[in-house]
Structure 1
Amino acid sequence: MTSSSKKIFITIAAAILAVWVVITVIPLYWMVIGSVQDTQASATFQPKMFPDMWSSAPYERFFGKTLAWRWLLNSLIVSSVLTVTNLFFASMAGYAFAKLKFPGRNAIFWVLLSTMMIPAQVTLIPLYVLMINVFQLGDSYTAIILPTIVSVGNIFLMKQYMSTLPTSLIHAARIDACSEFGIFYKIILPMAKPGLAVLAIFTFVASWNDFFWPLLVTNSNEMRTIQVGLANFKFAESTDYGAIMAGASIGALPMMVLFFSLQRYFLQGITIGAVKG
């Protein structure tokens, strides 16, 4: 490829990426703009790119007419607990499958992977019956959290990541009489920070955005998460689009903060295994 053709290719690629960025950002921008318009503009659901009048009324209506703070607290509790439990169990399981040798290791790992081929819709009804009828855990944090306390996908992610870590350090630590827990805590976890950051981002975002399962197992308005609460935020005669946009903006804020605070580790994690040259 000549120098001129390379420049043309780079220019076309940059133009395509710029168009893609605009298409991606416009809905988010429209959501934020729709949440700061006056009542009349919000009612017509015709937000302008540059509003004539800025107003905090949609946020006041959203927090004043709903249990928004409780919904946000529920989502924060569920997402934080699931992130911590997945980091803990998935990292331990990933280390065991990647670096430890024990009978049936490969068989257990492949059995776990095979469960990923089962559609979630197949296990949804048995899981619902188990949580509600057998364990009597309906309308509780436990019912929301327990089924996804650790996922096979996260175990697979950590296993693949920890397979790239040097085994020589583990052997050296064993020679120095370091326990397996000490090796895991003092050697493996510090080296696995990029992978753990990726896992934390994926788990928190997935838990925060989860809608269907919290909708099934919660009945009261007090136990709803922010996504379920927004879906049920309706009025008898009209729809308050401004307040809904305000709620959606508030609901998206924690994910943005999490991603930008951990983006350095995220970028390191997704490039693991790339060919250097």
Structure 2
Amino acid sequence: MHASMPFRKKPKKLISNIVLLAVALFFIFPFYWIVTGAFKVQNVAVAIPPEWFPHAPTLDNFTVLFKNPVWRWTFNSFFVAAAEMAGVCLVASMAGYVLAKKQFPGRKIIFTLFVAAMALPKQVILVPLFTMIADFGWIDHYKALILPAIGWPFGIFLVKQFAQTLPGELLEAAKVDGCSELRLYYSIVLPLLKPALGALAIFTFINAWNDYFSQLIMIRSTPMMTLPLGVATLKGEYTTPYGVLMAGAAFASLPMIVIFLLFQKAFTQGITMGAVKG
């Protein structure tokens, strides 16, 4: 009777694998369509029925794409995303650690406000944020994209939840040995927060790279455009060069793939934090 159990489990496992494969293909297909479309001429890119694989691939779309200041747009996107990633990780690591391990009046209220802020869509605060940035004279500048995003409530929430799992005995022992608060944070807390910060780094970089809405509102000049914003401007007034747009989208997706591969180990550890209790 027990010997038949593995055979009963095999159909369920096979079905679950088929379902997971179907879901994976469903989510991968748009990316596949963009990449293959980048090598199609205009009439083939919009043909019905579609050409699932380019029979006569061409690099003309990339030639047209790089006639624009794409490298400048790419630099802008990298600079904004990297600066925002570093700022969010720094602020979130400090704020999350303090909210998790320090006792002070109003700690729970402050954390509740951060959680409540996560429910606010960006469009709600756009008008006062734009007015403030305009008063500061930051419109069409890197500061307009980087500084408002540094205090990301989700980042503080993520790090705070992970910091709660840090052993309090270790922190107390460091204080007894005469470790200053700054040294405690830099030498002990920060290394222990690496899994959470790795996941947060990916989330922040992708969020900053794809933040088309804020970039559209805050940026005015072509040299200051980021890559998603610059690619969107390639759409013509009367025609839409789908092949060029797909080439731009494929090119813009490469940095995100590289960032994920670099932080993949920390990312998988970060998203499973708290799943196992010691």
TM superposition score normalised by structure 2: 0.92
Using the TM superposition, give the Cα deviation of residue 119 of structure 1 relative to its aligned residue in structure 2, in angstroms.
3.3
CA contact (8 A) 2:138 2:144 kept: yes
5+ residue gaps, structure 2: none
CA contact (8 A) 2:114 2:153 kept: yes
2:128 counterpart residue number: 126
2:76 counterpart residue number: 74
CA contact (8 A) 1:39 1:57 kept: no
Using the TM superposition, give the Cα deviation of residue 265 of structure 1 relative to its aligned residue in structure 2, in angstroms.
1.1
Deviation string 1:59-90 (CA, Å, 9 cap, x unpaired) is 111011x2211111111111011000001111
Aligned partner of 1:24 among 23, 27, 37: 27
2:15 pairs with 1:12: yes
Instruction: Judge which range, 162-171 or 47-56, deviates more.
Output: 47-56
**1:158–1:50 Cα change, 3 Å:** same
RMSD between aligned alpha carbons?
2.0
Using the TM superposition, give the Cα deviation of residue 219 of structure 1 relative to its aligned residue in structure 2, in angstroms.
1.3
Please list, as runs of the form range in 1=range in 2, the aligned pairs for 1:50-65 lying within 5 A after superposition.
50-64=53-67
**1:174–1:8 Cα change, 3 Å:** same
Aligned partner of 1:116 among 107, 115, 118: 118
CA contact (8 A) 1:34 1:47 kept: no
Using the TM superposition, give the Cα deviation of residue 257 of structure 1 relative to its aligned residue in structure 2, in angstroms.
0.6
5+ residue gaps, structure 1: none
User: What is the CA–CA distance in structure 1 between the aligned matches of 2:25 and 2:118, rounded to whole Å?
Assistant: 35
User: What is the CA–CA distance in structure 2 between the aligned matches of 1:152 and 1:40, rounded to whole Å?
Assistant: 46
Instruction: Judge which range, 48-57 or 159-168, deviates more.
Output: 48-57
User: What is the CA–CA distance in structure 2 between the aligned matches of 1:115 and 1:22, rounded to whole Å?
Assistant: 35
Secondary structure of the 2:66 match is helix
CA contact (8 A) 2:140 2:221 kept: yes
1:141 counterpart residue number: 142
1:106 counterpart residue number: 108
**1:190–1:45 Cα change, 3 Å:** farther
1:177 counterpart residue number: 178
Percentage of pairs with the same residue: 40
Secondary structure of the 1:137 match is coil
Using the TM superposition, give the Cα deviation of residue 108 of structure 1 relative to its aligned residue in structure 2, in angstroms.
2.1
**1:53–1:130 Cα change, 3 Å:** same
Please list, as runs of the form range in 1=range in 2, the aligned pairs for 1:212-231 lying within 5 A after superposition.
212-231=213-232
**1:237–1:116 Cα change, 3 Å:** closer
User: What is the CA–CA distance in structure 1 between the aligned matches of 2:254 and 2:36, rounded to whole Å?
Assistant: 14
User: What is the CA–CA distance in structure 2 between the aligned matches of 1:35 and 1:17, rounded to whole Å?
Assistant: 28
Using the TM superposition, give the Cα deviation of residue 46 of structure 1 relative to its aligned residue in structure 2, in angstroms.
7.3
The number of residue pairs the alignment matches comes to: 275
Using the TM superposition, give the Cα deviation of residue 275 of structure 1 relative to its aligned residue in structure 2, in angstroms.
3.3
CA contact (8 A) 2:232 2:245 kept: no
